Structure 1
Amino acid sequence: MGTLAGHLVPGSVLALLGLWHIINTIKSYHLKGSTHFRSSFWHPFLTPFPKLVYLELLLIVFFSIFSIVMQVLDYPLFTLAFKLNNYEHATMFLHLAIYAGFTLLSELTHKSDTLFEVSGILAASVFSQELFLLHYHSADHVGLEGHYHWLMQLIVLVSLLTAIFATTFPSSFPTSLVLSISVAFQGFWFINMGFMLWVPELVPKGCVLRLGDGGDSDMHGAIVCGTHEARLRARAMANLQFSWILAGILIFVGCLCLSFPKKVTHRGQSAEYERLHSRIAEVPLSVTGFKQVHP
């Protein structure tokens, strides 16, 4: 993942997955209500083709396997050199593949209801291993890079805790929503890290990007700040980016929550109006019939 593409690709996938879960979680809550809501670690893809219902899980499995292969082959060099950094990244995707594969098989064998907690444990293991490998990374991220990765660990920690709570309390809408938000936040933060740490034009003022491996701009590098003031400014900018990205996601969530009740309430009012209208329509008939019998 020590490249621009290595951050943009998984970041985009996580961001889209998180947004997909946010939309479906809010939609499910407003359609089912607080009494019938149940958390889900995946959401069916509504399509005329039945086999594509499990598209989310299928894409996660294939993407995880693809990412493992790319890490083992040391993209973009495509060699079999053993690098701890690559194998640590591959291990993160391994746990993701285990979770998605097990959940997919539980759905195909119609055992998802009884194995929901197991899927939840495996989902939590994905975040726990991600947090573990980010914290004890063989690539010593220091300086500004280290600060970006430390902020990333905060997001992953929230994902881990909410995954555990969603497994324990599946009827909790706030827990499920925060889990979805944290997954989207991970993705957007990965994308932000890719641009801010691997694009020389976006490096903070007073800092420079030192590239490794022969100066290839796609290879592993590090941000070096010349002065203490430049380091403080760069970290402050990272903190602001962290807050701005979260604010953008929360604005999206708020707008989505405001849009769903209007539609659901409208349908409920229409149904109630129709039932009330039918009852009123029956009353004159009864009264009229009564008058005809007893003039």
Structure 2
Amino acid sequence: MFFQEHCFFWLGYGTYGGSLVRYASNPKSFRVRIWNPVPGFNGRLRYLELYLVVIGVFIDMCIELLYSTHLKFFVNGVLNPSHMNDFEHSGMLLMFFIFGAITLLSEKTSFLPLPEGALCLIAATAFCAEYLLFYFHSTSHKGLEGYYHLLLVILIALCILATVAGALVPTSFPVDLCSGIAIALQGLWFYQTAFTLYGPMMPDGCQLKGNEITCNSKDHQVRGELLANFQFFAMLLAVLVAVVVSYGFAASRFGHSDLGSLPAAEDGLEWD
């Protein structure tokens, strides 16, 4: 899942960053986008974000389906039960690969012209597949590992809601911004989970044994869960601060004359 966490982080960063710039540049013409073109370079890097998603997810899918399974797909005529986890990851990654490929076809060719709302719904379908994978996983996530996956599932649910809302309310800046924030948070939480459960940030009293996270006592597990809450809050606070700073920068550099105006006439308000 190494490439997936990178893709989610950069896709989320590009989404909320592009959302801030587009809104600051012209609030009245703002539209929701599920992806954001890279500006400059005479348009040569315009589709870089989509290529990163397609190529990164494809590599990750090949690792899960071909390398991790050692091509032992079937045992006694049925799917190899030892690698159900890899098959599930591959299916989820396939959905994001399809999303990226369809979006590229829609944006670069005339074979599959789709409105942005349809692309939002395709992305929401991919997030739904991811949600189902982590919620109904063949590998039973229990204890501390289960708690980290529970927080991940919450973030995935937010991604689903935000992308569906983007299709329903295509002119909403808050919806587009929330979508980018949710995707970025999901990518960051993938990093945090990897560093904590499989890296140097393992809580005291807990350890990785085989493929399972075990804690010496219930108290150690509770401390680990409290640490997860703190990490989640710190990550959320850091992202919100980054959004506010980014918006200030976008407003100062790309700010439109309508950005600071209040639609008093439309709201029936008058100022003395």
TM-score between the two structures when normalised by the length of structure 1? 0.79
The superposition leaves residues 14-38 of structure 1 with CA deviations (integer Å, 9 ceiling, x where unpaired) of 21221121211100001011x2100
> 2:117·2:170 contact (CA, 8 Å) conserved in 1?
no
Q: Which residue of 1 aligns with 2:25?
A: 31
- Rounded to whole Å, the distance in 1 between the matches of 2:165 and 2:11 is 20
Q: Which residue of 1 aligns with 2:245?
A: 255
Q: CA RMSD in A?
A: 2.0
The 1:245–1:103 alpha-carbon spacing in structure 2 relative to 1, beyond 3 Å, is same
Shift of 1:54: 1.6
Q: How does 1:1-295 map to 2 (within 5 A)?
A: 1=1, 6=2, 9-33=3-27, 35-75=28-68, 79-82=70-73, 83-110=83-110, 114-199=114-199, 201-211=200-210, 221-265=211-255, 268=257
**Displaced runs of 4 or more, over 6 A:** none
> 2:7·2:52 contact (CA, 8 Å) conserved in 1?
no
What is the percent sequence identity of the aligned residues? 29
The superposition leaves residues 36-60 of structure 1 with CA deviations (integer Å, 9 ceiling, x where unpaired) of 1001111112243545322221221
What residue ranges of structure 1 are gaps of 5+ in the alignment?
A: 212-220, 270-295
- Rounded to whole Å, the distance in 2 between the matches of 1:119 and 1:92 is 17
What residue ranges of structure 2 are gaps of 5+ in the alignment?
A: 74-82, 259-272
The superposition leaves residues 141-171 of structure 1 with CA deviations (integer Å, 9 ceiling, x where unpaired) of 1110000000000000000000000011110
RCO higher in 1 or 2 (8 Å CA, sep ≥ 6)?
A: 2
The superposition leaves residues 97-124 of structure 1 with CA deviations (integer Å, 9 ceiling, x where unpaired) of 1111111111123588753222111110
The superposition leaves residues 252-282 of structure 1 with CA deviations (integer Å, 9 ceiling, x where unpaired) of 00111122222345x759xxxxxxxxxxxxx
Shift of 1:12: 2.5
SS in 1 for 2:120: helix
- Rounded to whole Å, the distance in 2 between the matches of 1:45 and 1:110 is 21
TM-score between the two structures when normalised by the length of structure 2? 0.85
- Rounded to whole Å, the distance in 2 between the matches of 1:27 and 1:112 is 28
The 1:176–1:155 alpha-carbon spacing in structure 2 relative to 1, beyond 3 Å, is same
Q: Which has the larger radius of gyration?
A: 1
The 1:111–1:30 alpha-carbon spacing in structure 2 relative to 1, beyond 3 Å, is farther
